[in-house]
Structure 1
Amino acid sequence: MDKQKNFDALLKAIAGRKTEKMYQNDFFLTWEKTEDELKAVWEVADALRNLRERNISTRVFDSGLGISLFRDNSTRTRFSFASACNLLGLEVSDLDEKKSQVAHGETVRETANMISFMADIIGIRDDMYIGKGNKYMHEVADSVAQGYKDGVLEQRPTLVNLQCDIDHPTQCMADALHVIHEMGGIENLKGKKLAMSWAYSPSYGKPLSVPQGVIGLFTRLGMEVVLAHPEGYDVMGDVVEVAKKNAQQSGGSFRLTHDMKDAFRDADIVYPKSWAPFAAMEERTELYGRGDQKGIDELEQRLLKQNAAHKDWACTEEMMKLTKNGKALYLHCLPADISGVSCEEGEVDASVFDRYRDPLYKEASFKPYVIASMILLEKFRDPAKLLRELEKRGQRRQFEA
């Protein structure tokens, strides 16, 4: 299908989606969104990419800010958010809390309103502490909604979750769009087996939001989702229940296993990724809350020792041979712990990673468009009409003499 026919088909699909509730709303967790809303995010993302590939500008804002707040280190998500804002015509301003009045006791409500006078979107990454990140995002969203209602703000900034303690929606939605393209359409995902597996890492404290986000999203697509981890590396029980419910409703399946080989056997897609045990993350949150640095250091050493007992949980060539025809699609949010490259022993063999390097980079390339799609759906009531008008306007993104 050529780009014009593909664009027309996307707009027809988008026009048929019920996305009214996304308008002037926020994006926190994928399982809070309807099936139509999720599909619209993917379709709008593809439509935006289509326009850019045809050198058509997608700037729908003449001015305005996208505010980013990263409470954890980031490369892909940080630049994906900046790229998404720029794609739509917004400038990005990063809130560095160390340089703000937050350190002097400024409240969340005050900070949220002070940074939002000309802001259209706020993107937050707050994934380090259980029970804190998603709660903080809601407090920010509630604060700016009240500021708009009270006439303090001229517009109501909406929020995109760039990763919290529960979910990583922009990552998992980008992962899913990559899989949709690789499998030739969303309808081809039904019945496919996805192994979301813990993998060894020589570091500790990796967030739970990626595995939780994956099982919370892919179970909605009629897939056979398997969550694999050593005993004691549980994720949030509430998210496991979400995954079970989703699988029942979609006609797929969801199960837990403590055997990585069981998860990989005949899998169409594998996602080996390290994470910290839920109980340990709860303990760390409590220790940070008390300012107990000695306790934090002791916990780190205990968890590193615990990880080291499971070095056999790695995505090796032998493990990949167990997958469907030995050619499962390998996914990772990056950066991966690559054995012999970024660490002595890690999540994945260098030979496996090298073989999938280009597909992994393509996987990451969907994230700016997914974030831009979320923003567009939150800020505009009729996305199909807007995208058609952008095409008709035909403003060149890059000048051609």
Structure 2
Amino acid sequence: MELMQQDIALGLKGKDFLALADYAPEEIRYLLDLAVELKRKQKAGEVYQPLKGKTLGMIFEKSSTRTRVSFEVGMYQLGGHALFLSKNDLQLGRGETIWDTAQVMSRYLDGIMIRTFEHRRVIELARGATIPVINGLTDSAHPCQVLADYQTVLEQKGRLEGLKIAYIGDGNNMAHSLMMGGAKLGMHVAVASPEGYMPDEGISKNTKEVASQTGGSLLVTTDPIEAIRDADVVYTDVWASMGFEEEQKIREKAFKNYQVNGDLVKHAKKDYLFMHCLPAHRGEEVSEEVIDGPNSVIFDEAENRLHAQKAIMAATMC
């Protein structure tokens, strides 16, 4: 087992973290176990600085609270330095190619985190870079958030394999990463979205193929009760993500029957966990009684962004 862990650790050095689909189940589990250990060290006041003297460049084409703070603090705790780069700070906004930017930044930095819109931009950046690239969020994937999510479930439930997670809402980047991550970990994932807002069909197909190999499963439905029935974990996200604000009123009508509230969660297991990637719109996608209730672990989940991302950086940038 120890030799296997060493092999996994060696295999992750210098590797990009773009999507959970790119990682084997044992690699994801390694990162989860590392995140738990790094959290233990931090809580115990143990100094652990494997990235001393290294620098992470953080490209933000989409703003964020949790992503910026957690990466910046995490890099500091690992002994390194994080450099914030907004779209106004870079020549990317003035026509320089992603390839050229990646090549130049690879000469200065030890890793790049990018939070952007189209997923192809992350892929192009990684192709041009000679240092690890971490996906801080794209319109189709949010792997850092989901690693923190499953770390939270692991801590709360003691296991992941065989558990059921129900996602209620927009079939967006969160749904995609939760689906694939859950399938890789042998979980049963159910997604309920209204017609026109379901997860990408190609990602759903790939997820089912992965689940068939790990003992997990994927259900995609328009019925939130069918999805949430006997769920160990209940998850939702805002109805109009960043970039879709102009669709707010249209989406409110489409999602009116998809609010996670007291009536809906009665169909989940009594000891279900409620999760949300935040920021949340209380009274919209989730009622206050649920998000502020005893089953909610949203702030444990938010904290784990720090520890999960430290695991990613420590594993890939050492």
Decide: shared fold, TM above 0.5: yes
Indicate whether 1:169 and 2:143 are aligned: yes
Distance (whole Å) between structure 2 residues aligned to residue 260 and residue 13 of structure 1: 44
Pairing of 1:2-401 with structure 2 (within 5 A): 12=2, 15=5, 18-127=8-117, 133-145=118-130, 157-186=131-160, 189-190=161-162, 192-198=163-169, 208-275=172-239, 300=246, 304-325=249-270, 327-339=271-283, 346-356=284-294, 359-380=297-318
Distance (whole Å) between structure 1 residues aligned to residue 206 and residue 104 of structure 2: 36
**1:94 and 1:211, CA in 2 relative to 1: closer, same or farther beyond 3 A?**
same
Distance (whole Å) between structure 2 residues aligned to residue 304 and residue 222 of structure 1: 37
Q: Check the 8 A contact 1:17/1:36 in 2, yes or no.
A: no
Moved more, 95-104 or 51-60: 95-104
Give the unaligned 5+ runs of structure 1: 1-10, 128-132, 146-156, 200-206, 285-295, 340-345, 381-401
**TM-score when normalising by structure 1:** 0.73
Amino acid across the alignment from 1:112: A
Q: CA deviation at 1:357?
A: 8.2
Q: Check the 8 A contact 2:112/2:132 in 1, yes or no.
A: yes
Distance (whole Å) between structure 2 residues aligned to residue 55 and residue 12 of structure 1: 26
**TM-score when normalising by structure 2:** 0.91
Q: Which digits, 9 at most, give the CA deviation of each residue in 1:289-341, with x for residues without a partner?
A: xxxxxxx99xx35x62253243121111111112113x3111110111101xx
Q: CA deviation at 1:48?
A: 1.5
Q: CA deviation at 1:12?
A: 4.8
Amino acid across the alignment from 2:158: G
**1:13 and 1:209, CA in 2 relative to 1: closer, same or farther beyond 3 A?**
farther
Q: CA deviation at 1:107?
A: 2.3
Q: Which digits, 9 at most, give the CA deviation of each residue in 1:141-197, with x for residues without a partner?
A: 22222xxxxxxxxxxx211111122211110011001001111134xx31x221111
Secondary structure at the aligned position of 1:330 is classed as strand
Query: Pairwise CA RMSD of aligned residues?
Result: 2.5
Distance (whole Å) between structure 1 residues aligned to residue 308 and residue 79 of structure 2: 16
Distance (whole Å) between structure 1 residues aligned to residue 51 and residue 229 of structure 2: 48
Percent of aligned positions with the same letter in both sequences?
Answer: 26
Q: Highest CA radius of gyration, 1 or 2?
A: 1
Distance (whole Å) between structure 1 residues aligned to residue 75 and residue 4 of structure 2: 21
The number of aligned residues is 318
Secondary structure at the aligned position of 2:88 is classed as helix
Amino acid across the alignment from 2:263: E
Moved over 3 A (4+): 11-17, 113-118, 274-277
Secondary structure at the aligned position of 2:235 is classed as strand
Distance (whole Å) between structure 2 residues aligned to residue 123 and residue 59 of structure 1: 19
Amino acid across the alignment from 1:257: T
Q: CA deviation at 1:356?
A: 4.7
